[in-house]
Structure 1
Amino acid sequence: MPRLAWLIGPALVAGVAYLDPGNVASNMTAGAVYGYLLVWVVVLGNVMAWLIQYLSAKLGIVTGRSLPETLGGRIRNPWARRAYWLQAELVAMATDIAEVIGGAVALNLLFGLPLLWGGAITGTVSIVLLLIQSRRGPRMFEFVVIGLLAVIAIGFTFGVLVAPPDAAGVIEGLVPRFEGAGSVLLAASILGATIMPHAIYAHSALARDRFAPAGAGTAAGTGASRPSPQPSDLAELRGIPTSRLLRATRWDVSIAMIIAGTVNLCILLLAAANLAGVPGTDSLEGAYAALYAGLGPAVATLFAVGLLASGLASTSVGAYAGAEIMHGLLRVRVPLLARRLVTLIPALVILAAGFDPTLALVLSQVVLSFGIPFALIPLVALTSKREVLGRFRNRAVTTAAGVAASVFLIALNATLLWLVFTGA
């Protein structure tokens, strides 16, 4: 029987989506503008993310199919399936915008490269990482991405160790509250960056690919159109009990979310403790300059290195998710290079047009927040069905928690729309 550690990995790769440049921009802006006010949003988002990512991985492991594949087989109307694909594809493109722009900003801060060139380099590196995944297999891809995850964690937590936050402010920030429409916008942005729709789609595929047994007919091979085997069949083909895989997955998701939650919280606390009220620090460039002036070149450089690793790792996971979305819902495959070049266009256009990169990052996370219900509601519904997961279907309390998370996120987005359009 394989050791537990060997089974860990997919959640750490999917967890990179929780540490993308959009997270950095949203959390830095929240800390710089509102201090410790939105600490509770980061904590709540991470708790909900644990449940959501576990359900996504469970679907992939038990059924041998990703969420897009499962939905593609269940949505019979071709126009409805295309409409669903379109919103999911727009979400994936919003993710790409955040990740490519973040990598471009990091290269500009570190080496003075023009943003457009930095975006092109970030996109090129993501293609290399995807080629590693397709040619060397999921395990090698995991090793590379987890290495980048370590760089991200060091880069974004070092500053908090050098300049610790105010403990009383952190505790006060755990009390849920808002201060005007701007704080609601940032809360939606933080949640969109924390609970990312493309991570929900990707994690089910990553878990499927990692534990796909021969003959299971997953999309990793050429037999994706074959009927999905029953959970008992998959367990027999793998030679590993499904219950053992799910137990390992809970550890995998827990480790990934602890890392992601700690780093996200550190980003907000670093800004709240050192950048609150400092002019210009609501942008990545301004935050870097303030960190350089206030805490020294080591903290500022590590921050920029973390941002670069974040962009490089998360854009490859985002591209992987986009390819899975297209294949699962439209049942077509586009050559990797062609698809990656197309999805890079919006980010490169924004960089070429001179649009404020930090504002683009924050707004992209709001777009992601609106895409969450379209991924989350089907996920909760599917994982609660006996016909889909058999005896591994959700317990009643798990389904209730998933429904509560969905209702909260939809209510937050509705409140955001009301505040923005009424000027309240």
Structure 2
Amino acid sequence: MINNEDVPRDLSRLVVPLLGSLEATEDLFVPYRLVDGRGSTVAPAAAFFAELMASGRPATTQRSYGMDLLRWFRFLWALGVGWDQATRVEARDFIRWLQVTTKPTRPHWRYPAGGSPGSGGEPAAAAVNAVTGKPSRGARYELTTVAHCESVLRGFYDFHLEAGTGPMLNPFPLARNAPSRPRAHRSPMEPFGREPRGRYRPKLVTRAPRSIPDERFDELFAQLGSHRDRALVAFWVSTGARASELLGATTGDADPGQQLITVMRKGTRVMQPLPAAPDAFVWLRLYQAQLAGLAPTGRDEPLWWTLRRPFRALGYDAARAMFTRANAALGANWSLHDLRHTAAYRMARDPQMPLTDVQWVLGHAHLSTTQRYLNPVTEEVIAGVLAFHSRQRERGPEAPPAAGYRSESLRILFGEAGS
């Protein structure tokens, strides 16, 4: 006899309305709140956010986790299932739906139908960029997003299971072969391995970090339209700081005399001075001279400002839009995070710079993370192999075989070319 719960839903006909939202607040204790379609706060999510804050997670983590919760609650609202009544069937169907559904698009004010110029309102399909070799973002969710959703929701239900406010079983279980007590019998001499994988977590392909080749970087840098943009990119590519870390710097954090700029680390929230290239401070001084008398310059004031009135602190979205415009002029799709990868590759390839120093500059908790930048770059491998084939071609035909070999034996081994 087949249980009704074992019958798969017809997800092709499921319509998930864009109800609710994740709202940013001005409250330091509640930086984000998840609201339903009526504007009421979703209490289970609010309790989870409070737990994240108590655990030392920054507001950016709450935003990232909140977007995953919003997708999940919208799915449950469409099914008419309460969050505390969800079972592994709903969790399984959510992951299935998330891997094939189309991402919702926010209409641009210039293109109310959605999309971009020339797209007709339809989301673009994923394709490999001819300049960078990176795949563009397609209409569907990336597998990394799906995997992140699974991890966040498993943690969300683990929290409520421990608090006694959720279902008796976590709808997002661990894989069947995962131990019930991970690392319970691990020898203290053994290195830590990966966390047990969730049952519905998709397998991800480990990608090598993408860096910008030097000649391409020079072309990209030439497309930047202001001293502020040049200073930002010069700092990113010389310090290896994350985009959000550098954008959070204040005027007092820049020390041209010591050639240092201090940033707050994303994970630890610790202030750390980072050495920067001299030209970065040259562009910074030109930018500050251009903005003199137009924006506040106190030590605690933001270092980066918008260039149009009314002057506001430069945010991540505006900085990304600036970099996207420079990319568009070259037909490229590099990201701000690729500047961090570029800095890491440049430092890791210098034989006079210890890898532990690179780890400190990048703020990696584990040296194994930094070791990724010792791997060969795709472009360099391709260029090396092509050069090998070129050298082989220049060598000319191979020397004829020594006398005494039977021609029929050579034909069997090498085909007609061997005769």
Q: Same fold, TM exceeding 0.5?
A: no
- Hey, which of these two has a bigger chunk of helix by percent? 1
TM-score by length of 1: 0.20
TM-score by length of 2: 0.21
Whichever of the two has the greater Rg, that structure is 2
- Hey, which of these two has a bigger chunk of strand by percent? 2
Q: Structure with the greater relative contact order (CA < 8 A, sep ≥ 6): 1 or 2?
A: 1
